């Protein structure tokens, strides 16, 4: 039965890639390029390719759209917490369409996130979670990468993820202003529906709220 590694370019899946390679397990590494990852993630994937790791890149085709943003603009919607359609349509379904059944898909969820593990919706596909099986935490994943002499990647994920923290939103504003603006434009595109990425408030308000005034940083003389 063929084995695939669902690769996201982050810490967990990179550590899993290294573990499977060390154990001489035959597998194919598959990265679904849905266009929503941070630039650093794409740079890291190229970095691994330069190191000799073979990574198959597939591009989704969802109703004629190849990226999540394109799909959002076309349908005037945004990703939401209550229904993770973006993960389903642009990550799970594309890799399911690519693999040859029956097969195993190995997913990089660490032991401290084991509650996220789910069986496959396809009986001919077995989801495997080797990090959970080995009780390998995220902290251990970082050590595995470092022990192999590789750079540690940043956390993977979409730059318009509805689960992002306020700190991540501010980081987007400071370090990726063009991507930050894309999030604002995305919300504006579907504003007639009354939806916001963070649910109850516009993204700009979410990112900039609770910032202490400048005077709070000044000491009295």
Tokens of 145: 């990468």
pLDDT digits (tens, 9 = 90+) for 16-40: 999 999 999 999 999 999 999 999 9
Domain boundaries defined on the chain: 2-147, 166-217
Rounded-to-integer distance, Cα 59 and Cα 25, Å: 26
pLDDT of residue 81: 84
Is residue 211 scored above 80 in pLDDT?
no
pLDDT of 220 > 80? The answer is: no
Cβ neighbours of 221 (radius 10 Å): 3
pLDDT tens digit sequence for 66-112: 999 999 999 999 998 888 899 999 999 999 999 999 999 999 999 99
pTM of the predicted protein model: 0.90
DSSP, residue by residue, 108-161: ---GGGGGG----SSTTEEEE-HHHHTT--HHHHHHHHHHTT-PPPPPP-BTT-
Nearest CA among 6, 20, 24, 7 for reference residue 104 = 6
Tokens of 28: 């194919």
Residue 214 scores a pLDDT above 60: no
pLDDT band at 52 (very low <50, low <70, confident <90, very high): very high
Spatial distance between the Cα atoms of 18 and 31, rounded to a whole number of angstroms = 15
Residue 212 confidence (pLDDT): 59
In this prediction, residues 55-65 reach a mean pLDDT of 97
Tell me what percent of the residues of the chain surpass a pLDDT of 90: 84
Question: In terms of pLDDT, which residue wins out, 169 or 210?
Answer: 169
2-147: CATH number: 3.40.50.620
pLDDT at 221: 44
């Amino acid at each position: 039965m063929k084995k695939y590694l669902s690769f996201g370019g982050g810490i967990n899946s990179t550590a899993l890639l290294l573990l499977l390679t060390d154990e001489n397990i035959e597998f194919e590494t598959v990265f679904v390029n849905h266009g929503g990852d941070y630039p650093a993630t794409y740079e890291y994937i190229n970095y691994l390719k330069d190191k000799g790791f073979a990574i198959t890149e597939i591009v989704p085709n969802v109703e004629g759209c190849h990226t999540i943003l394109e799909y959002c603009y076309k349908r005037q919607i945004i990703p939401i917490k209550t229904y993770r359609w973006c993960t389903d349509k642009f990550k799970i379904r594309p890799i399911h369409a690519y693999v040859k059944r029956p097969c195993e898909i190995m997913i990089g969820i660490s032991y401290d996130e084991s509650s996220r593990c789910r069986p496959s919706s396809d009986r001919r596909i077995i989801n495997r979670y080797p990090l959970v099986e080995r009780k390998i935490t995220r902290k251990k994943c970082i050590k595995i990468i470092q022990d192999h002499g590789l750079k540690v990647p940043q956390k993977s994920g979409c730059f318009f993820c509805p689960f992002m923290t306020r700190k991540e939103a501010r980081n987007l504003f400071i370090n990726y202003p063009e991507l930050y603006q894309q999030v604002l434009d995305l919300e504006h595109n579907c504003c007639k529906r009354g939806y916001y990425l963070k649910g109850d408030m516009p993204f700009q308000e979410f990112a900039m709220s609770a910032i202490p005034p400048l005077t709070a940083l000044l000491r009295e003389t």
